[in-house]
Protein backbone atom coordinates (compact mmCIF):
# COMPACT_ATOMS: atom_id res chain seq x y z
CA UNK A 1 0.00 0.00 0.00
CA UNK A 2 2.74 2.33 0.99
CA UNK A 3 4.77 1.36 -2.05
CA UNK A 4 1.88 2.09 -4.45
CA UNK A 5 1.34 5.44 -2.77
CA UNK A 6 4.98 6.36 -3.17
CA UNK A 7 4.88 5.39 -6.80
CA UNK A 8 1.73 7.40 -7.34
CA UNK A 9 3.31 10.44 -5.77
CA UNK A 10 6.39 10.00 -7.90
CA UNK A 11 4.24 9.81 -11.02
CA UNK A 12 2.35 12.90 -9.97
CA UNK A 13 5.65 14.75 -9.39
CA UNK A 14 6.97 13.69 -12.81
CA UNK A 15 3.70 14.71 -14.44
CA UNK A 16 3.81 18.09 -12.69
CA UNK A 17 7.42 18.59 -13.76
CA UNK A 18 6.57 17.63 -17.32
CA UNK A 19 3.53 19.95 -17.25
CA UNK A 20 5.68 22.77 -15.85
CA UNK A 21 8.24 22.36 -18.65
CA UNK A 22 5.46 22.30 -21.20
CA UNK A 23 4.02 25.55 -19.77
CA UNK A 24 7.46 27.17 -19.82
CA UNK A 25 7.97 26.08 -23.47
CA UNK A 26 4.55 27.45 -24.45
CA UNK A 27 5.27 30.70 -22.62
CA UNK A 28 8.58 31.09 -24.45
CA UNK A 29 6.97 30.32 -27.80
CA UNK A 30 4.23 32.90 -27.17
CA UNK A 31 6.86 35.46 -26.13
CA UNK A 32 8.98 34.79 -29.22
CA UNK A 33 5.99 35.06 -31.58
CA UNK A 34 4.82 38.23 -29.88
CA UNK A 35 8.28 39.73 -30.13
CA UNK A 36 8.58 38.82 -33.80
CA UNK A 37 5.22 40.39 -34.60
CA UNK A 38 5.97 43.61 -32.68
CA UNK A 39 9.41 44.18 -34.36
CA UNK A 40 8.99 45.63 -37.85
CA UNK A 41 10.62 43.61 -40.57
CA UNK A 42 12.93 45.82 -42.58
CA UNK A 43 11.95 46.09 -46.19
CA UNK A 44 14.76 45.91 -48.73
CA UNK A 45 14.89 49.12 -50.73
CA UNK A 46 17.24 50.03 -53.60
CA UNK A 47 19.43 52.96 -52.71
CA UNK A 48 20.85 54.79 -55.74
CA UNK A 49 24.61 54.75 -55.84
CA UNK A 50 25.88 58.30 -56.17
CA UNK A 51 27.65 58.94 -59.45
CA UNK A 52 31.06 60.42 -58.91
CA UNK A 53 31.96 63.18 -61.35
CA UNK A 54 34.65 62.16 -63.83
CA UNK A 55 37.80 64.20 -63.54
CA UNK A 56 38.11 66.75 -66.34
CA UNK A 57 41.25 66.24 -68.35
CA UNK A 58 43.05 69.45 -69.23
CA UNK A 59 45.55 69.64 -72.05
CA UNK A 60 47.90 72.48 -72.80
CA UNK A 61 47.37 73.42 -76.44
CA UNK A 62 50.05 75.75 -77.81
CA UNK A 63 48.72 78.94 -79.35
CA UNK A 64 49.02 78.76 -83.10
CA UNK A 65 51.33 81.36 -84.57
CA UNK A 66 49.51 83.88 -86.74
CA UNK A 67 49.83 83.15 -90.43
CA UNK A 68 50.48 86.04 -92.75
CA UNK A 69 49.19 85.39 -96.21
CA UNK A 70 51.38 87.01 -98.83
CA UNK A 71 49.50 87.53 -102.07
CA UNK A 72 51.19 86.07 -105.11
CA UNK A 73 52.53 88.65 -107.51
CA UNK A 74 50.29 89.42 -110.42
CA UNK A 75 51.83 87.97 -113.59
CA UNK A 76 53.10 90.75 -115.79
CA UNK A 77 52.68 90.42 -119.52
CA UNK A 78 56.09 91.24 -120.94
CA UNK A 79 55.88 92.65 -124.46
CA UNK A 80 58.57 91.25 -126.73
CA UNK A 81 60.94 93.78 -128.29
CA UNK A 82 60.55 94.50 -131.96
CA UNK A 83 62.12 92.06 -134.40
CA UNK A 84 64.67 94.76 -135.15
CA UNK A 85 65.16 97.06 -132.12
CA UNK A 86 64.67 100.66 -133.19
CA UNK A 87 66.39 103.53 -131.42
CA UNK A 88 63.67 105.63 -129.86
CA UNK A 89 64.51 109.33 -129.32
CA UNK A 90 65.62 109.45 -125.69
CA UNK A 91 68.21 112.23 -125.89
CA UNK A 92 70.68 109.79 -127.43
CA UNK A 93 73.20 112.59 -127.91
CA UNK A 94 73.63 112.72 -124.14
CA UNK A 95 74.28 109.00 -123.76
CA UNK A 96 77.69 107.59 -122.96
CA UNK A 97 79.44 105.05 -125.17
CA UNK A 98 81.36 101.89 -124.29
CA UNK A 99 83.84 100.08 -126.51
CA UNK A 100 85.57 96.85 -125.55
CA UNK A 101 89.36 97.05 -125.15
CA UNK A 102 89.87 94.88 -128.23
CA UNK A 103 87.32 96.99 -130.16
CA UNK A 104 85.21 93.92 -131.00
CA UNK A 105 81.92 95.52 -129.90
CA UNK A 106 80.45 98.81 -128.69
CA UNK A 107 77.14 100.24 -127.43
CA UNK A 108 75.59 103.36 -125.89
CA UNK A 109 74.01 103.67 -122.43
CA UNK A 110 72.21 106.43 -120.47
CA UNK A 111 74.44 108.98 -118.69
CA UNK A 112 73.00 108.21 -115.23
CA UNK A 113 73.86 104.50 -115.50
CA UNK A 114 77.10 103.16 -114.00
CA UNK A 115 78.84 99.86 -113.46
CA UNK A 116 82.01 97.87 -113.83
CA UNK A 117 83.63 95.10 -115.84
CA UNK A 118 85.21 91.91 -114.52
CA UNK A 119 85.87 88.26 -115.36
CA UNK A 120 83.46 85.80 -113.77
CA UNK A 121 84.69 82.28 -112.95
CA UNK A 122 82.06 79.55 -113.48
CA UNK A 123 82.89 76.48 -111.37
CA UNK A 124 79.50 74.79 -110.87
CA UNK A 125 79.78 72.99 -114.21
CA UNK A 126 81.52 69.87 -115.48
CA UNK A 127 84.14 72.02 -117.16
CA UNK A 128 85.08 75.20 -115.24
CA UNK A 129 85.43 78.28 -117.46
CA UNK A 130 85.36 82.07 -117.30
CA UNK A 131 83.06 84.74 -118.71
CA UNK A 132 84.00 88.36 -119.37
CA UNK A 133 81.25 90.44 -117.82
CA UNK A 134 80.13 94.06 -117.87
CA UNK A 135 77.33 95.12 -115.47
CA UNK A 136 75.53 98.48 -115.60
CA UNK A 137 72.91 99.67 -113.10
CA UNK A 138 70.34 102.35 -113.79
CA UNK A 139 68.87 104.79 -111.29
CA UNK A 140 67.93 103.06 -108.06
CA UNK A 141 71.01 100.84 -107.95
CA UNK A 142 70.25 97.13 -107.69
CA UNK A 143 66.55 97.91 -107.20
CA UNK A 144 66.36 99.55 -110.62
CA UNK A 145 67.03 98.42 -114.20
CA UNK A 146 70.16 96.41 -114.94
CA UNK A 147 72.07 95.60 -118.12
CA UNK A 148 74.61 92.76 -118.27
CA UNK A 149 76.93 92.12 -121.20
CA UNK A 150 78.45 88.62 -121.34
CA UNK A 151 81.10 87.62 -123.86
CA UNK A 152 84.03 85.40 -124.59
CA UNK A 153 82.98 82.17 -122.83
CA UNK A 154 83.60 78.58 -123.86
CA UNK A 155 80.72 76.53 -125.22
CA UNK A 156 78.66 74.95 -122.43
CA UNK A 157 78.25 71.88 -124.62
CA UNK A 158 81.50 71.12 -126.48
CA UNK A 159 79.60 68.72 -128.75
CA UNK A 160 77.37 71.54 -129.96
CA UNK A 161 79.10 74.14 -132.15
CA UNK A 162 78.22 77.77 -131.34
CA UNK A 163 75.40 79.09 -133.49
CA UNK A 164 72.93 81.95 -133.42
CA UNK A 165 70.02 79.52 -133.24
CA UNK A 166 71.16 78.16 -129.85
CA UNK A 167 73.26 80.98 -128.39
CA UNK A 168 70.27 82.30 -126.41
CA UNK A 169 70.08 79.05 -124.40
CA UNK A 170 73.72 79.44 -123.32
CA UNK A 171 72.96 82.98 -122.18
CA UNK A 172 69.93 81.73 -120.24
CA UNK A 173 72.07 79.03 -118.59
CA UNK A 174 74.70 81.56 -117.54
CA UNK A 175 72.02 83.91 -116.21
CA UNK A 176 70.60 81.15 -113.99
CA UNK A 177 74.12 80.19 -112.79
CA UNK A 178 75.35 83.51 -111.50
CA UNK A 179 72.94 86.35 -112.28
CA UNK A 180 69.84 84.78 -110.64
CA UNK A 181 71.17 81.83 -108.58
CA UNK A 182 68.65 82.34 -105.75
CA UNK A 183 65.67 83.30 -107.89
CA UNK A 184 62.96 81.37 -109.67
CA UNK A 185 63.35 82.08 -113.36
CA UNK A 186 60.94 81.27 -116.18
CA UNK A 187 61.97 81.68 -119.81
CA UNK A 188 59.56 81.97 -122.69
CA UNK A 189 60.14 80.34 -126.05
CA UNK A 190 62.77 82.17 -128.10
CA UNK A 191 61.82 84.37 -131.03
CA UNK A 192 63.84 85.71 -133.98
CA UNK A 193 65.45 89.10 -133.48
CA UNK A 194 67.97 91.21 -135.42
CA UNK A 195 70.98 92.49 -133.47
CA UNK A 196 73.93 94.35 -135.02
CA UNK A 197 72.51 93.51 -138.46
CA UNK A 198 72.57 89.77 -137.70
CA UNK A 199 69.61 87.43 -137.38
CA UNK A 200 69.63 85.61 -134.07
CA UNK A 201 67.27 84.55 -131.23
CA UNK A 202 66.04 86.30 -128.11
CA UNK A 203 63.79 85.29 -125.21
CA UNK A 204 61.87 87.13 -122.53
CA UNK A 205 61.87 85.87 -118.93
CA UNK A 206 60.52 86.48 -115.45
CA UNK A 207 62.70 86.27 -112.32
CA UNK A 208 61.15 86.07 -108.83
CA UNK A 209 63.86 87.30 -106.45
CA UNK A 210 63.38 89.78 -103.63
CA UNK A 211 60.78 91.20 -106.00
CA UNK A 212 59.43 90.35 -109.42
CA UNK A 213 61.65 91.25 -112.37
CA UNK A 214 60.99 90.92 -116.08
CA UNK A 215 63.68 90.95 -118.70
CA UNK A 216 64.93 90.06 -122.12
CA UNK A 217 68.07 88.31 -123.32
CA UNK A 218 69.73 87.84 -126.68
CA UNK A 219 72.51 85.44 -127.64
CA UNK A 220 74.70 85.89 -130.69
CA UNK A 221 77.89 84.34 -132.11
CA UNK A 222 80.43 86.25 -134.17
CA UNK A 223 83.71 84.83 -135.40
CA UNK A 224 83.35 81.90 -133.04
CA UNK A 225 82.91 84.10 -129.94
CA UNK A 226 79.76 83.94 -127.80
CA UNK A 227 78.01 87.17 -126.80
CA UNK A 228 75.02 87.68 -124.59
CA UNK A 229 72.95 90.73 -123.68
CA UNK A 230 70.68 90.55 -120.62
CA UNK A 231 68.44 93.29 -119.26
CA UNK A 232 66.01 93.14 -116.33
CA UNK A 233 63.65 95.71 -114.86
CA UNK A 234 61.24 95.64 -111.88
CA UNK A 235 58.00 94.27 -113.30
CA UNK A 236 55.96 97.37 -112.55
CA UNK A 237 58.51 99.59 -114.35
CA UNK A 238 58.90 97.62 -117.58
CA UNK A 239 56.69 99.82 -119.73
CA UNK A 240 58.51 102.94 -118.56
CA UNK A 241 61.98 101.49 -119.28
CA UNK A 242 61.18 99.67 -122.51
CA UNK A 243 62.18 102.58 -124.83
CA UNK A 244 65.55 102.83 -123.06
CA UNK A 245 66.12 99.08 -123.31
CA UNK A 246 65.31 98.94 -127.02
CA UNK A 247 67.52 101.97 -127.72
CA UNK A 248 70.40 100.30 -125.88
CA UNK A 249 69.97 97.10 -127.91
CA UNK A 250 69.72 99.07 -131.16
CA UNK A 251 72.99 100.88 -130.41
CA UNK A 252 74.96 97.63 -130.16
CA UNK A 253 77.52 97.18 -132.97
CA UNK A 254 80.42 94.87 -133.75
CA UNK A 255 83.88 96.09 -134.66
CA UNK A 256 85.81 95.19 -137.79
CA-to-CA separations, 205 to 22, 120, 210, 232, 244, in angstroms, rounded: 130, 22, 16, 9, 18
Q: Do the Cβ atoms of 243 and 233 come closer than 8 Å?
A: no
Q: Pick from 71, 74, 136: which is nearest to 108 by CA?
A: 136
Pick out the chain residues at pLDDT < 50.
8, 16, 30, 35-36, 38-45, 47, 49-83, 87
Domain 92-254 has CATH 1.50.10.10: no
Strands 105-109 and 253-254: antiparallel
Query: What confidence score (pLDDT) does residue 3 get?
Result: 56
The model scores a pTM over 0.85:
no
Amino acid sequence: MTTRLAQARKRIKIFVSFASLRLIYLACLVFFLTACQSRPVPTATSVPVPTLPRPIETKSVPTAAPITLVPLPTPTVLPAPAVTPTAIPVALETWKSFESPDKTFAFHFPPDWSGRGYTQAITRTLRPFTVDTLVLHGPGGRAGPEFVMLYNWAALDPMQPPANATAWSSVAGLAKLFLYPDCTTTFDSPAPVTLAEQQTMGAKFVAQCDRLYVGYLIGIVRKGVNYGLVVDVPAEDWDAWRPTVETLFASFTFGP
